[in-house]
Amino acid sequence: MKKTGIMAILLAAVWFGGMGCHAQGMQQPNRPAKVRPSHQMRLIIDNDYAGDPDGMFQLVHHLLSPSVDIRYIIGSHLRVGDVFDSTNQTADNAKKHIEAILEMMGMTGKYPVLAGSNIGLSDPETPLHSEAAKAIVKEAMRDDMDLPLYVVCGGGLTEIASAYLMEPRIADRLTLVWIGGMEYTDVALPPPGYARTEYNTAIDINAVKVIFNKSDIKLWQIPRNVYRQALVTKAELNLRVKPYSAVGAKITDMIEHILNRMAREAYILGDNPLVLVTALLSIFEADATSSPYQLRQAPFINDEGMYEINREGRIIKVFNQIDNRLMFEDMFAKMQLLQSQ
């Protein structure tokens, strides 16, 4: 059927359906009106905001996306001795960075901001009882909300793994979206000079083992070969983000500083796919329609954070490609609209 035919049917349904509801409303004046949802999902954002500044673009992009109901924003830890922050307080520092962004955007106090644990799991059996992990459990176990819950992680998996170990029943009450994991060798090759253990996996290998090897949490994975596709140039950021707001100028300067030091022009905003596959779903048969993925068995994660075949692994969604046009054009537009607010 042509799109025009579909639209005609939809318009007719809206028109005549509205007339029918009006007539029923006249006959049943006490019938409660159906409330239209104001969001398509609940969201818990978890990222290592003291690290790679790509997370700042993801945070601002999500904050500017009205279709998601942000319940908590969690600042999580980095690897020990990370080049971006070598202190032992990286989760606490991440929280400070979140609060600074919210202040610049006039959103102080609008969202609960929590620091995760400053360390990773000591083993795949023992949770860290942080306030962030407890918040995930609390939100997941609510019975008064119909909106689906998504936990989006752009760094390590310490908090969601701890939450699962604390309360395994959360597994069938949320979807985890994770930026991380190495390539699947039947799909892509590693990048030149690659690290044997993928960056976000290395933050907390024990936590990744919990999610892949122990849990049955519904998982959408955006592995290294896919998040590396999210390339944007310094010229684009200076033209389409920096001039329109203080926060846009701030986060662009963070990227530009790194690019200038490295004599490069393009940067991977590898956390923005978290926005693409949550806030920017299709309206009919909701899905990340323009970003191809496959359903495959979850691998077993070994002690080095590498994949091994797991013939009993549950089925997970693994993205093979991302729609950069949709993702970045939406981000640029929302950043530019800040000027009129």
Q: Quote the number of domains for the chain.
A: 1
SS3 for 184-211 is: CCCCCCCCCCCCCCCHHHHHCHHHHHHH
Res 177: pLDDT: 99
Read out DSSP for 139-154? HHT-SS--S-EEEEES
Question: What is the domain extent for residue 278?
Answer: 41-340
Strands 218-222 and 231-233: unpaired
Res 340: pLDDT: 82
pLDDT tens readout for residues 181-240: 999 999 999 999 999 999 999 999 999 999 999 999 999 999 999 999 999 999 999 999
If you average pLDDT over residues 304-321, what whole number do you get?
98
> Does 18 have pLDDT greater than 90?
no
Alpha-carbon distance of 274 to 294, in angstroms, equals: 17
In a domain? residue 335 = yes
**Tokens encoding 65:** 């996306």
If you average pLDDT over residues 10-28, what whole number do you get?
43
Res 341: pLDDT: 75
Res 155: pLDDT: 99
CATH of the domain at 65: 3.90.245.10
Coil, strand, or helix at residue 289? coil
Backbone CA torsion sign across 313, 315, 316, 321: positive
In a domain? residue 9 = no
Q: Give the Cβ contact number of residue 219 at 10 Å.
A: 19
In a domain? residue 27 = no
In a domain? residue 69 = yes
Distance spanning both ends of the chain, measured CA to CA: 41
> Does 265 have pLDDT greater than 50?
yes
If you average pLDDT over residues 56-64, what whole number do you get?
99
Report which residue type is found at 246.
A
Percent of the chain whose pLDDT exceeds 90: 87
Res 4: pLDDT: 46
Res 17: pLDDT: 45
Res 206: pLDDT: 99
Choose the weakest-confidence range: 37-41, 93-97, 125-129, 292-296.
37-41
In a domain? residue 33 = no
DSSP-assigned beta bridge partners for residue 176:
151, 219
Please give the residue that has the higher pLDDT: either 265 or 34: 265
Res 23: pLDDT: 41
pLDDT tens readout for residues 89-126: 999 999 999 999 999 999 999 999 999 999 999 999 99
In a domain? residue 65 = yes
Reference 48, options 85, 5, 77; nearest CA is 77
In a domain? residue 17 = no
**Helix axis angle, 54-63 to 246-262, nearest 10°:** 160
If you average pLDDT over residues 297-326, what whole number do you get?
98
If you average pLDDT over residues 32-37, what whole number do you get?
54
In a domain? residue 179 = yes
Confidence category of residue 36, pLDDT binned at 50, 70, 90: low
Report which residue type is found at 147.
L
Q: Give the Cβ contact number of residue 316 at 10 Å.
A: 21
